[in-house]
Amino acid sequence: MSDSHQQSYQRFLDEVKANRVMWGLRFGDEWVVCDSSEFEDTEVMPVWSTEQEAKVQCVDEWAEYEPFEITLAEFLEIWVEDMSEDGVRIGPNWDAELDGIELDVLELVKALA
């Protein structure tokens, strides 16, 4: 993991722990997911620790998407199980080029504990 990815991930953890929210991108009932660059036939859901960072991604094919708040409690109670069952990984604080680390959702839960 590069230093910049490590710093972005640590900032994500710090801000989500402090603010108790994270942000995904949603259009209607559809959430943004991307193909994994690490694993074949695997999707990654990018999430950000601030609304502004999420909003930066709302361009081009995602221009109609909007940042949508996911509370930490909702994430832990609902999202974790669904994402784990579906094999969807999570991408915390990806940069503008959609580059960053990909984690198993349970790894993120441990880091947030």
Each residue's pLDDT tens digit, 21-78: 999 999 999 999 999 999 999 999 999 999 999 999 999 989 999 999 999 999 999 9
Whole-model pTM: value is 0.92
Count of C-beta atoms within a 10 Å radius of residue 6: 11
pLDDT of the residue at 97: 85
pLDDT at 1 over 90: no
Residue whose pair of structure tokens reads 């603010």 in the numeric block: 19
Structural domains present in the chain? 3-112 (3.40.1350)
Tokens at 92, concatenated:
């915390």
Structure tokens at 88: 């969807």
